[in-house]
């Protein structure tokens, strides 16, 4: 995701792995739609996309006063906030941009510049955070490890380098030999489509399994670490792609450390489960694959996009500030 | 599955739910292929199919002596035993037919008749067992329960009525209102394609979820019972469709009773995990859905068809002889 000449250029993730195509987003309406339609997805990427959406709104505002500009930003923020409900990064990023704009002084044009700069700075910060997550995360990985990951928490879910994939990339760059297992991640198959694509592009071998096979590969000793990303982390719960909770339970049952890798922009320590809105998506994601219907037309479908894992099941949170235990989260860890 | 005029007529399950078509199998080679290609599937159905395969071999043998007939049956048994490795019912059924033929007296024609009668009797016995499983199993279901099942353990997996679906059918016929949840069951989607088809055909409402969502529906209190079938049960382990183990762990974590419904033909109490061969199937089942490739061509795939659940995670085994605890299995329960 890049800011290019007053537009945002990003990969259309819905077309991968078949086609690597880019879309150019020019206003916050299109950005909200890109988030909703999952052209851009992954919590840190969604956060930066929202910030850039506000930058586009600022640029396109033709505001004559600061008040007009702030009003325009609030309007755009309301639209962007409704794009998807679960990833905390979205709300965090919007609040940060609005706060910066509120604080800013100077002409409307100067403030618009500051808003654009802030959005671009957030993108750079997320890249740095990913590399720091890699640095901290590699310490939990040993030569010869089998590492399982879920959904896509790589470059495509961030700005670059990834969250759950960052420790894997760093460990491999240090010469550690890892066996990487990716769950396909139904219904949208981000593991099969995106994680495999990313890792194979970087010449990192990866083995694809169906979601239900994760417990078996753990029991068979093929995997001895699990690392996933997160959409929202509170003091007691991790909201992440549906299926994460069962992976955490299987890891616990097999004495396998289960790690959550996420930048601090994903943490909402003031929040609790009641705040965590778990998005329910349409039936078609489940009953149609590649345009083909796989179930009887009249079947009822329940399709939560995320689930909730108690922090007690997490061995460590790998952040850009270090690896935190669940106890540190519940105490007053400052993030 | 029916014996009709010296042939076996059965639904082609690979065509469901789009087309309800039947195939007519006339010899044991075609029967072995039908099992291998999953035209017929589900442990009890595979057992009866193998028995009928031997009946076809006997009928087609033109044996002039009992010795010739027995040799022919052993030959056919070897081919059928190689069709699929995990379901115990296959091996159990073949051994029973061979034993009956060994014991039989009279002309070759008379013995062939006995073999055919035995195979047909086994089909009837499985139907009766399914109904008894329904009778015993309904006692664990209460009005208002949310019941989750995995894969297809219904009419299509048996001769009629099912194993895991039998208690559900019986409970509903007694007026209990159940919310039935079916996991789609990747990679072959037997839950999405077969269980929904069967239940909707019988006007039993069912909600489809992806496999990874099972933990979430349990945590949310939408489900308070889990019933699955089995491919092989030893004193310590249950081999069943991949994903079963994680369902059992999620049930345990949420204090939800987890039941395994199976006829005694699935139990191999002399066996242990070392005997349980977990079939690994091809990559295409995972990376192609309805002919469409969903992952990069060059990705490695690990595709175990089954997994192994320790009996400690099972609240009860619902059989045609009653509901057994895991402790009863480990003691010398006579099945």
> Which tens digits make up the pLDDT trace of A212-223?
999 999 999 999
Tokens read off for B320: 């045609």
Specify the range with the lowest mean pLDDT, choosing from A149-163, B123-137, B252-266, B320-334: B320-334
| Res B227 pLDDT > 70 | yes
B154 pLDDT more than 90: yes
Q: Which of B213, B192, B262, B209 is nearest to B233 (CA)?
A: B262
CA B138 to chain centre: 19
Question: Could you give the 3-state DSSP secondary structure of residue B140?
Answer: helix
The H or E element that residue B229 is part of is none
Q: What is the pLDDT of residue B271?
A: 78
Whole-number percent of chain B with pLDDT over 70? 99
Question: Could you tell me if A217 lies within 8 Å of chain B, comparing CB atoms?
Answer: yes
In this structure, is the dihedral angle defined by the CA atoms of residues A178, A237, A303 and A50, taken in order, positive or negative? negative
Select from A217, A286, A292 the Cβ nearest to the Cβ of B184: A286
Confirm if A100 and A115 have CB atoms less than 8 A apart. Answer: yes
Rounded to an integer, what distance in angstroms lies between the CA atom of residue A52 and that of residue A46? 10
CA dihedral A195, A201, A207, A212 (to 10 degrees): 20
Nearest in space to A35 (alpha carbons), one of A93, A82, A91, A2: A82
Q: Give per-residue burial for B178-208: e unless 16+ CB within 10 Å, then b.
A: bbbbbbbbbbbbbbbbbbbbbbbeeebebbb
**In this complex, do B216 and A308 lie within 8 Å of one another by their Cβ atoms?**
yes
Q: How far apart are CA B187 and CA B196, in angstroms?
A: 16
**CB atoms closer than 10 angstroms to residue B120:** 16
User: What confidence score (pLDDT) does residue A132 get?
Assistant: 98
- The answer to whether the CB atoms of B249 and A250 lie below 8 A apart is yes
pLDDT tier for residue B276 given thresholds of 50, 70 and 90: confident
Tokens 């106890």 belong to residue: A327
- Of A305, A21, A288, which Cα lies nearest the Cα of B184? A288
Which element (helix H / strand E) includes A183?
strand A179-183
Position A258 scores a pLDDT of 98
Distances (CA, A) of A194 to A139, A156, A189, A214, A292: 25, 7, 8, 18, 20
**B17 contact residues in A (CB cutoff 8 A):** 295-296
Mean pLDDT of the A154-177 span = 97
Q: What would you report as the CA-atom Rg of chain B, rounded to the nearest whole angstrom? A: 20
Helices (H), chain B: 28-36, 43-59, 66-81, 88-103, 108-137, 165-173, 190, 196-201, 214-219, 244-253, 284-287, 326-330
Helix intervals (H) in chain A: 28-36, 43-59, 66-81, 88-103, 108-137, 165-173, 190, 196-201, 214-219, 244-253, 284-287, 326-330
ipTM for the assembly: 0.96
Is 70 exceeded by the pLDDT of residue A269? yes
Task: Give yes or no for residue B283 having a pLDDT over 90.
Answer: yes
Reported as a single tens digit per residue, the pLDDT across A15-59 is 999 999 999 999 999 999 999 999 999 999 999 999 999 999 999
Residues contacting residue B30 through CB under 8 Å, at least 6 positions apart: none
Average pLDDT over residues B261-281: 89
Q: Do B286 and A214 lie within an 8 Å CB cutoff?
A: no
Of B205, B210, B291, the CB nearest to A300: B205
Please pick, among B5, B95, B143, B231, the residue that the annotation labels catalytic. Answer: B231
Q: pTM of the prediction?
A: 0.97
pLDDT band with cut points at 50, 70 and 90 for residue B87: very high
């Amino acid at each position: 995701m890049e800011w290019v000449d007053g537009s945002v250029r990003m990969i259309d993730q819905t077309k991968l792995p078949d086609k690597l195509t880019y879309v150019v987003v020019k206003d916050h309406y299109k950005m909200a739609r890109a988030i909703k339609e999952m052209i851009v997805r992954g919590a840190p990427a969604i956060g930066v996309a929202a910030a850039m959406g506000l930058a586009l709104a600022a640029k396109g505002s033709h505001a004559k006063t600061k008040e007009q500009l702030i009003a325009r930003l609030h309007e755009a923020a309301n639209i962007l906030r409704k794009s998807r409900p679960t990833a905390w990064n979205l709300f965090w990023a919007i609040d940060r941009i609005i706060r910066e704009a509120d604080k800013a002084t100077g002409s409307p044009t100067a403030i618009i510049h500051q808003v654009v700069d802030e959005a671009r700075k957030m993108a750079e910060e997320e890249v740095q955070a990913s590399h720091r997550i890699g640095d901290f995360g590699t310490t939990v990985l040993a030569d010869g490890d089998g590492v399982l990951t879920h959904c896509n928490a790589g470059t495509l879910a961030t700005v670059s380098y990834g969250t759950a994939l960052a420790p894997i990339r760093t460990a491999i760059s240090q010469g550690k030999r890892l066996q990487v297992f990716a769950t396909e991640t139904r219904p949208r198959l981000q593991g099969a489509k995106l994680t495999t694509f990313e890792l194979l592009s970087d010449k990192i071998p990866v083995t694809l399994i169906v979601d239900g096979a994760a417990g078996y590969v753990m029991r068979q000793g093929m995997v001895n670490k699990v690392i996933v990303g997160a959409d929202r982390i509170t003091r007691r719960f991790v909201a992440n792609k549906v299926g994460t909770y069962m992976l955490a339970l299987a890891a616990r049952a097999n004495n396998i450390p289960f790690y959550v890798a996420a930048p601090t922009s994903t943490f909402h320590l003031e929040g609790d489960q009641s705040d965590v809105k778990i998005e329910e998506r349409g039936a078609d994601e489940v009953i149609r694959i590649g345009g083909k219907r796989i179930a009887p037309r009249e079947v009822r479908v329940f399709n939560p996009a995320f689930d909730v894992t108690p922090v007690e099941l997490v061995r460590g949170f790998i952040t850009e500030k270090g690896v935190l235990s669940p106890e540190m989260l519940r105490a007053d860890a400052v993030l």
